[in-house]
Structure 1
Amino acid sequence: MTFEAGAGRVESRPRLDGESRSRVALSAAAVDLLRQLWDVHGPLMFHQSGGCCDGSSPMCFPAGDFKTGAADVLLGTFDLTGREGEALGELDFWMSAEQFAYWKHTHLTVDVVQGRGSGFSVEAPEGKRFLIRSELLE
């Protein structure tokens, strides 16, 4: 994993034009779950729509299964590695542009908790769900 930061977080590569700082990170627990899910589903992606209920949580899909477009913003890309350090591939984090308008002043960390989230997100059968923890950008 590249772009490592404190507190066990893995930072993404910035993808917004003109930005050099990461806007989104993965907790160590999120990385562990993503490795497990990658083994089952292959390459993955995140999208956060900002809709009600589960739509407010980051949803994890096989890469390309959720079609992004002009109404979506690519916040960051992670270079995910396996447990032995082998390269798995890139994992993009997308957010709807409307949601990003509200969250543009925050740094997001994708974390994992016990519980069942959306049935559309690939972690649902694992009895865990992804969630966002946020902090204001400096």
Structure 2
Amino acid sequence: MATATLPEQVTATAEALKLIDELQGQHGPIMFYQSGGCCEGSAPMCFPVGEFRIGSRDKKVGEIGGAEFFISPQQFEYWKHTQIIIDVVPGFGAAFSLEGPGGLQFHTRSRVFTDEEIHALRDAGKI
């Protein structure tokens, strides 16, 4: 029986990767935190590395454009069966996120993993 390829838990569109590259050029290394509500809804938040404190229980689910991507354990429980897809849409981003003033904002989309992908992620200890 063939083993399923381990799917990425977070990916980004070409437009998002372009914006990430621009932000890294302006701010140096950046990171993402998938917000779970509170102030900015469920927007992915983008910060210079070191300007947002990652909790000991927060989970790194991958990297996009060389930027680490984290999510809270509570949010991860809701999203662990989906691939997080970071996109860019017109508008003014979250007040605390680096892209905020630029007329574009990061936007989270998702797709449900297939049964085969879920099994591969479980076998790898990712969910």
2:15 aligned counterpart, secondary structure: helix
Give the number of the structure whose alpha-carbon radius of gyration is greater.
2
Return the TM-score normalized by structure 1: 0.74
Whether 1:123 aligns to 2:99 is: yes
**Aligned: 1:47 with 2:30:** no
Q: How does 1:21-40 map to 2 (within 5 A)?
A: 21-40=7-26
Aligned pair count?
A: 110
Which letter does structure 1 place at the counterpart of 2:26? V
Q: Which has the higher strand share?
A: 1
Query: What pairs up with 1:1-138 in 2 under 5 angstroms?
Result: 20-52=6-38, 54-78=40-64, 80=65, 90-138=66-114
- Paired-residue identity, %: 45
**Which structure: greater helix fraction?**
2
Q: Is the 1:54–1:118 contact (alpha carbons within 8 Å) kept by the matching residues of 2?
A: yes
Q: Which structure ranks higher in relative contact order (CA pairs < 8 Å, sequence separation ≥ 6)?
A: 2
Residue 39 of structure 1 deviates from its aligned partner by 0.9
**Structure 1 residues not aligned, in runs of 5+:** 1-18, 81-89
Per the TM alignment, residue 69 of structure 1 is displaced from its structure 2 partner at its CA by 1.7
Unmatched 5+ stretches in structure 2: 115-127
CA distance in 1, matches of 2:84, 2:75: 13
Q: Secondary structure at the match of 1:56?
A: coil
Provide the aligned C-alpha RMSD in A: 1.5
